[in-house]
């Protein structure tokens, strides 16, 4: 297609025609309006002229009446109207001449009237003066001569004729004016149509451009995805050979080579992170990123992220403060995506701040009639210049020239903020920035507490997910204390069996085995997970739901990503797999003896153990573990089945307490409190 | 390792094939090679490997189709296939599992993890 300044030529044609029509139309309306003004000016002049003619007539009659009265009575009073007429005549005639100038057609008549009026006035004047001099006879003769009457008759005839002519032209004016108004209206309509057409063309052009942009974005996403694939293949080769060479160098004791090989591997892995970032972004842009909303406790989520960021913050000598408001409560959103965003923001803050302070403040706020959770990450770093703010959310626009760098490693991808913003928008929220150069920056993720199902329906990004409430019922024990414990799981506490069905979890006090037996004996309640709350250690009664599992791990795990969770037993790889899918690193052992070996090798941050296993069972495992110096303090979660209570109690008495786990005293205290209450 | 595992590595990318096969050899595997899906089916039927590592984007016959055919043949139906792909987009894993793969690994391959997966699908302690 032919183009003119980037636009197709036919479009340019329409725009030109439209613009021309608009210009001409506006011009015509202006001219027409000017003409109408002239017409109405003429009309008003004419009305004035008619007034002048009538005034002249009235004045002459009054002058004549005054003169006659004076002749008959010789009383001076009659001279007043006559004198007035004599004074005003020149002014009125002047106005009449103006009419003659405006309308050349009546100029002759105006001159005639002027002459007659002056003659009449002359006759009146002569008579009055003769009388004043005492010559009554001469004055009377003059009046009787009929000259005055003739002049007057002529004058009246001429004036009436003039008035008629002037009046006719006023009718014409009003017709003209109407015509001009009609023309203006028509022209206005034409202009409006032209304007509308121009608007429509422009609108279509914008729409076309938008469609083109969308198409371009799709193409770009597909390109990025395939490019990522092409990039990953050679990277696969580089990383693979490097690792192989490292193994060989290690075997041969070539330590100097090892350093260089590690550098190659780390650079290649960084490149991989970069490519993954690009891929992630393209997935979001293509609308292919699925949002999986679940219900979770805000505090738990924050704690998890904190564990990951802390080592990074400390490397630059920063302090990390986390402040989760007590009102933060629970959220129904995509925890993985929120974690990802939070991780991006906090690690960014840690990256650009040295020997400063990083604060993560989480609060629940009300905006636009909805509840939001604000995750605000504040740092005391260099801040961001105003000029840079605009580019901040653009890919690869990292503003790192003023930030402290750590020897050129781990500089990030420059995609973190872009991805975070997209993720937040995906969840119905936004990222906002406040910053001051030299003082620091605050990045805040503002996310709705609940991602509405309608949001997904409209985006087609995933099925509407039904919200699942996990309530917990506290039975027995010290109610308040247990409730507090339950809240640490991020679960809602219900005071009794809810009217609408079964709770997601039942919590019982420490050593309250009778109650567990009751629950497990009744088929109605046998399927509900039971957690026996002690302090420092947990006993989970099967079946164990994923939520419960996650809550327990979050409660006891250190949050250090480097530390694994050792799963002993757990039905083959089933439990370890479930925990692994939730994002934790797991080490699985099929029974107790293997578990002890793996414990020594891996030094896990937490242990989960089944009671019943082939080989060494859970009881013996815990006993052995607590006898070891390195196994005394690790948190152990025991998963028990109904029927194992009695031996478990023995174990609790014999092994756990004797082993001296960190919160043993608190556990004893809790048990005592519970007993007192129950007793 | 009690008895050496026989691994069939199907990979069209020469360097990737060389690298991965050398690493497997070092760990004591018997390594068989194939460059495309068709070759993979023939080699699998004749050599009866214990496990197949299959790149999915292959010439002649792609990995998904090859896996499907392997599943249909009585001689190869029981050999576990581990899919290897550099595509990381969401449904790759589903597609691979649908085709009959026992497991799925994304490239670049985490070698130690891959060994674990091989142990898992073959039921052998390496």
Q: What is the predicted pLDDT for the residue at A469? A: 37
Mean pLDDT of A72-99: 83
For the cut 50, the answer to whether the pLDDT of residue A617 exceeds it is yes
| Cross-chain residue pair A232–B26, CB shorter than 8 Å | no
Number of H helices, E strands in chain A: 20, 18
Sign of the four-CA dihedral A334, A340, A344, A347: positive
| Pairing status of strand A294-297 against strand A330-333 | antiparallel
For chain A, what is the radius of gyration of the CA atoms?
A: 51
CA gap B79, A169 in Å, rounded: 112
B13 touches chain A (CB under 8 A): yes
Distance from the Cα of B16 to chain A's closest Cα (Å) equals 5
Do residue A232 and residue B108 have CB atoms under 8 angstroms apart?
yes
Q: Do A441 and A376 contact (CB within 8 A), yes or no?
A: no
Closest residue of chain B to A235, computed from CA coordinates: B108
pLDDT of residue A253: 86
| Burial readout B27-59 (b: 16 or more C-beta within 10 A, e: otherwise) | bebebbbbbbbbbbbebbeeeebbbbbbbbebe
Beginning with the edge strand found earlier in the chain, give each strand of the sheet holding B51-55 in spatial order. Answer: B30-34, B6-10, B51-55, B81-85, B103-106
pLDDT value at residue A636: 80
Q: Does B118 touch chain A (CB under 8 A)?
A: no
With an 8 Å Cβ cutoff, is A266 touching chain B?
Answer: no
Query: How buried is residue A112: exposed, middle or buried, by Cβ count under 10 Å (0-12/13-18/19+)?
Result: middle
Cβ atoms of residues A594 and A567 within 8 Å: no
Give me the mean pLDDT over the A653-658 stretch: 32
CA pair distance A270, A276, nearest whole angstrom: 10
Most confident of A80-84, A251-255, A564-568, B52-56: B52-56
Model confidence at A374: pLDDT above 90: yes
Q: What is the pLDDT of residues A144-199, one digit of tens each?
A: 777 778 888 888 888 888 887 777 666 777 788 888 888 888 888 888 888 888 88
What DSSP letter does each residue of A193-207 carry, written as one string?
HHHHHHHHHHHHHHH
Residues of A in contact with B90 (CB under 8 A): 283, 288, 290
pLDDT at residue A482 tops 60? no
Mean pLDDT of A68-90: 83
B32 membership: H or E segment, kind and range:
strand B30-34
Residue located via tokens 């990953």: A232
Tell me: pLDDT of A669 over 60. no
Cross-chain residue pair B108–A272, CB shorter than 8 Å: yes
Q: pLDDT by residue (tens digit) across A493-546?
A: 554 444 444 555 666 665 566 666 666 666 666 666 666 654 335 566 666 666
Q: Mean pLDDT throughout A6-13?
A: 63
Q: Shortest CB distance from A243 goes to which of B89, B90, B111?
A: B111
Residues of B whose CB is below 8 A from A239? 108
Contacts of A232 in chain B (CB under 8 A): 86, 88, 107-108
Cα distance from B113 to chain A (closest Cα, Å)? 12
d(CA A69, CA A77): 9
- Listed range (A241-255, A634-648, B82-96, B106-120) with the worst mean pLDDT: A634-648
CA A616 – CA A593 distance, rounded (Å): 6
| Strand order from edge to edge, sheet including A430-436 | A319-324, A357-367, A370-379, A440-448, A430-436
Taking each helix axis as running N to C, give the angle between helix A255-285 and helix A147-252, from 0 to 180 degrees, rounded to the nearest 10. Answer: 150
Rounded-to-integer distance, Cα A642 and Cα A569, Å = 17
Candidate from B86, B90, B109 with C-beta closest to A290: B90
Q: Does B27 touch chain A (CB under 8 A)?
A: no
- Could you tell me which residues come within 8 angstroms of residue A303 by beta carbon, excluding any fewer than 6 positions away? A322, A554, A559
What's the pLDDT at A363? 92
- Tell me, rounded to whole angstroms, the distance of Cα A305 from its chain centroid: 26
Task: Establish how many alpha carbons lie within 13 A of residue A1's alpha carbon, considering only the half-sphere containing its beta carbon.
Answer: 10
Of A443-452, A468-477, A663-672, which has the strongest mean pLDDT? A443-452
B23/A236 Cβ within 8 A: no
What's chain A's average pLDDT? 74
What one-character-per-residue DSSP string does A348-370 give?
HHHHH-SSSEEEEEEEEEEETTE
In this prediction, residues A75-85 reach a mean pLDDT of: 82
Under an 8 A CB cutoff, do A240 and B111 touch? yes
Q: How far is CA A338 from CA A118, A424, A610, in A?
A: 105, 8, 33
User: Which chain A residues have a beta carbon less than 8 Å from that of B123?
Assistant: none
Q: Is the pLDDT of residue A362 over 90?
A: yes
Q: Are A579 and A553 in contact (CB under 8 A)?
A: yes
CA distances for B120 relative to A327, A428, A518, B30, B116, angstroms: 46, 41, 40, 18, 6
Test B86 with A233 for CB contact under 8 angstroms: yes
Q: What are phi and psi of A568, to 5 degrees?
A: -105, 120
Interchain CB contact of A192 with B (< 8 Å): no
Predicted local confidence at residue A512, as pLDDT:
64
Mean pLDDT value across residues A619-644: 72
φ, ψ of residue A332 to 5 degrees: the values are -125, 95
Compute the 3-state secondary structure of chain B and give helix, strand, coil in percent, each to the nearest 5: 45, 20, 40
**A170-174, A345-349, A394-398, A472-476: which range is least confident on average?**
A472-476
Which chain B residues in 56-75 lie under 8 Å from chain A, judged by CB atoms? none
Q: Which residues contact A43 (CB under 8 A, 6 or more apart)?
A: A170, A173, A174, A177
CB contact (8 A) between residue B108 and residue A276: no
ipTM rounded to 2 decimals = 0.75
* Cα–Cα dist A131/A134, whole Å: 5
- How far apart (Å, rounded) are the C-alpha atoms in residues A315 and A127? 127
Q: Which of A229, A237, A279 faces B19 most closely, judged by CB atoms? A: A237
List the single best residue of B21, B28, B85, B108 to mutate versus A (max A Cβ within 10 A).
Answer: B108
Two tokens at A363?
A: 């609060």
pLDDT, residue B80, reads: 94
A236 CB neighbour count, 10 Å cutoff: 23
Q: Are strands A471-475 and A505-508 parallel, antiparallel or unpaired?
A: parallel
pLDDT of residue A375: 94
- Buried/exposed code over A342-364 (b: 16+ C-beta within 10 A; e: otherwise): bbbbbbbbbbbbbebbbbbbbbb
What's the pLDDT score for residue A544?
A: 64
Q: Is the pLDDT of residue A361 over 60?
A: yes
pLDDT of residue A311: 79
- The pLDDT, as a whole number, for residue A84 is 84
- Block means of pLDDT (10 residues each) for chain B, 126 residues, are 82 88 90 90 90 89 90 90 76 78 83 90 80
- Identify the pLDDT of residue B89: 56
Indicate left, alpha or beta for A275 from its phi (over 0: left) and psi (-120 to 50: alpha): alpha
> Does residue A486 contact residue A464 with C-beta atoms inside 8 Å?
no
Q: What is the pLDDT of residues A89-137, one digit of tens each?
A: 888 888 888 878 877 878 888 888 888 888 888 888 888 888 888 787 8
pLDDT of residue B81: 94
User: Does residue A573 contact residue A532 with C-beta atoms inside 8 Å?
Assistant: no
pLDDT at residue number A377: 93
d(CA A623, CA A577): 26
pLDDT of residue A453: 45
Q: Is B108 within 8 Å of A240 when comparing Cβ atoms?
A: yes
Rounded-to-integer distance, Cα A63 and Cα A622, Å: 140
Rg (CA), chain B: 13
- CA-closest candidate to residue B58, choices B120, B123, B24, B9: B9
| pLDDT greater than 60 at residue A213 | yes
Give the Cα-Cα-Cα angle A246, A250, A251 (nearest 5 degrees): 120
Instruction: Give the model confidence (pLDDT) of A547-579 as tens digits.
Output: 666 666 766 665 565 678 888 886 655 777 777
**HSE-up of residue A555 (Cα within 13 Å, Cβ side):** 24
Query: B50 versus A642: which is more confidently predicted?
Result: B50
A457 pLDDT band, cuts 50/70/90, is very low
What pLDDT is attached to residue A123? 83
pLDDT above 70: residue A601:
yes
């Amino acid at each position: 297609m032919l183009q003119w300044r980037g636009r197709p030529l036919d479009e340019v044609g329409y725009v030109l025609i439209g613009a021309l029509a608009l210009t001409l139309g506006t011009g015509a309306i202006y001219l027409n309006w000017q003409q109408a003004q002239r017409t109405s000016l003429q009309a008003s002049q004419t009305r004035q002229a008619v007034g002048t003619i009538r005034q002249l007539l009235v004045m002459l009659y009054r002058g004549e009446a005054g003169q006659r009265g004076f002749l008959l009575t010789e009383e001076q009073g009659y001279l007043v109207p006559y004198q007035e007429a004599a004074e005003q005549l020149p002014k009125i005639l002047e106005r009449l001449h103006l009419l003659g100038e405006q309308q050349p057609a009546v100029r002759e008549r105006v001159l005639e009237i002027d002459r007659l009026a002056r003659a009449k006035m002359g006759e009146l004047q002569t008579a009055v003066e003769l009388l004043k001099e005492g010559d009554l006879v001469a004055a009377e003769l003059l009046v009787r001569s009929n000259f005055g009457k003739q002049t007057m008759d002529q004058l009246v005839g001429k004036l009436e004729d003039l008035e008629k002519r002037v009046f006719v032209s006023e009718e014409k004016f009003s017709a003209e004016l109407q015509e001009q108004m009609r023309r203006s209206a028509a022209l206005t309509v034409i202009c409006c149509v032209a304007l509308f057409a121009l608007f429509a063309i422009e609108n279509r052009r914008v729409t076309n451009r938008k469609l083109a942009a969308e198409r371009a974005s799709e193409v770009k996403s597909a390109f990025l995805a395939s490019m990522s694939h092409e990039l990953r293949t050679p990277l696969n080769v580089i990383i693979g050979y490097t690792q192989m060479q490292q193994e060989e160098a290690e075997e041969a004791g070539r330590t100097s080579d090892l350093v260089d090989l590690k550098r190659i591997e780390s650079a290649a892995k960084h490149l991989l992170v970069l490519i993954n970032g690009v891929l992630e972004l393209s997935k979001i842009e293509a609308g292919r990123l699925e949002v999986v909303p679940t219900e979770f406790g805000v505090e738990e989520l924050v704690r998890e992220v904190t564990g990951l960021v802390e080592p990074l913050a400390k490397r630059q000598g920063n302090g990390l403060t986390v402040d989760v408001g007590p009102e933060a409560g629970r959220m129904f959103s995509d925890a993985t995506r929120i974690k990802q965003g939070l991780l991006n923001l906090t690690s960014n803050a840690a990256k650009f701040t040295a020997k400063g302070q990083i604060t993560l403040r989480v609060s629940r706020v009300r905006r636009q009639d909805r509840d939001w959770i604000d995750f605000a990450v504040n740092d005391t770093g260099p801040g961001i210049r105003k000029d840079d703010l605009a580019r901040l959310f653009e890919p690869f626009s990292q503003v790192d020239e003023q930030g402290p760098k750590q020897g050129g490693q781990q500089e990030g991808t420059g995609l973190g903020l872009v991805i975070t913003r997209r993720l937040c928008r995906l969840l119905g929220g936004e990222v906002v920035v406040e910053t001051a150069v030299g003082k620091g920056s605050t990045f805040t993720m503002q996310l709705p507490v609940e991602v509405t199902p309608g949001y997904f329906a409209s985006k087609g990004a995933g099925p509407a997910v039904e919200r699942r409430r996990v309530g917990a019922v506290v039975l027995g024990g010290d109610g308040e204390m247990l409730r507090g414990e339950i809240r640490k799981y991020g679960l809602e506490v219900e005071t009794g069996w809810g009217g609408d069905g079964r709770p997601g979890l039942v919590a019982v006090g420490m050593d309250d085995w009778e109650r567990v037996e009751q629950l497990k004996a009744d088929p109605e309640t046998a399927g509900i997970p039971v957690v026996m709350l002690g302090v420092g250690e947990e006993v989970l009664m099967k079946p164990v739901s994923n939520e419960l599992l996650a809550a327990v791990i979050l409660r006891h795990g250190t949050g250090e990503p480097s530390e694994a969770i050792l799963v002993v037993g757990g039905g083959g790889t089933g439990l370890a797999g479930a925990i692994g899918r939730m994002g934790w690193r797991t080490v699985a052992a099929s029974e107790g003896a293997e578990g002890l070996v793996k414990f020594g090798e891996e030094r896990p941050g937490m242990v989960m153990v089944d009671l019943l296993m082939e080989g060494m069972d859970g009881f013996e495992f815990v006993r052995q573990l607590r006898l070891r110096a390195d196994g005394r303090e690790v948190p152990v979660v025991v998963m028990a089945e109904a029927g194992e209570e009695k031996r478990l109690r023995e174990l609790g008495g014999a092994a756990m307490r004797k082993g001296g786990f960190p919160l043993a005293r608190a556990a004893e205290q809790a048990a005592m409190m519970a007993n007192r209450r129950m007793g | 390792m009690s008895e050496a595992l026989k691994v069939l590595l199907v990979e069209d990318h020469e360097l990737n094939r060389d690298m991965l096969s050398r690493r497997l050899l070092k760990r004591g595997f018997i390594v068989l090679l194939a460059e495309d899906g068709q070759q993979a089916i023939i080699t699998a039927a004749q050599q009866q490997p214990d496990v197949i590592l299959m790149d999915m984007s292959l010439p002649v016959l792609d990995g998904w189709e090859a896996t499907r055919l392997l599943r249909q043949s009585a001689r190869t139906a029981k050999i576990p296939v581990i899919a290897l792909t550099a595509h990381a987009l969401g449904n790759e894993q589903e597609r691979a599992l649908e085709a009959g793969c026992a497991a799925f690994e994304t490239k670049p391959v985490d070698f130690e993890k891959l060994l674990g997966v091989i142990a898992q699908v073959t039921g052998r302690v390496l």
